[in-house]
Amino acid sequence: MRRLFVAGNWKMNLLGASAKQLAEGGAAAVPADESAIDALVCPPYPYLRAVGGAVDGSGVQLGAQDVYHEPEGAFTGEVSADMLVDVGCGWVILGHSERRHVIGETDELINKKVAAALKAGLKVMLCVGELLSDREANQTEAVVDAQLAGSLEGVSDADMAQVAVAYEPVWAIGTGVTASKEQAESAHAHVRNWLAGRYNSEVAEATRILYGGSVKPDNAAELMSQPNIDGVLVGGASLKTDLFVPIIEAARQVATS
Q: Which amino acid is at 188?
A: H
How far apart CA 224 and CA 64 sit, in angstroms, is: 23
How far apart CA 52 and CA 27 sit, in angstroms, is: 10
Closest approach of ligand PEP to the CB of residue 9, in Å = 4
User: Where on the chain is the footprint of ligand PEP (CB under 6 A)?
Assistant: 9, 168, 173-174, 212-215, 233-237
| Listed residue (163, 168, 244) closest to 198, CA to CA | 163
SS3 category, 18: helix
Closer Cβ to ligand PEP, 59 or 169, answer by number? 169
Closest approach of ligand PEP to the CB of residue 109, in Å = 19
How far apart CA 8 and CA 76 sit, in angstroms, is: 27
Catalytic residue among 98, 105, 130, 168: 168
Closest approach of ligand PEP to the CB of residue 237, in Å = 6
Closer Cβ to ligand PEP, 30 or 237, answer by number? 237
The verdict on whether 96 is a catalytic residue reads yes
The dihedral built from the CA positions of residue 219, 225, 228 and 234, taken in this order, carries a sign that is positive
| Listed residue (185, 111, 117) closest to 148, CA to CA | 111
The verdict on whether 72 is a catalytic residue reads no
Closest approach of ligand PEP to the CB of residue 80, in Å = 23
The residues facing 62 across adjacent strands are 41
Orientation of helix 16-29 relative to helix 241-256, angle to 10°: 20
Active site amino acids: 96, 168
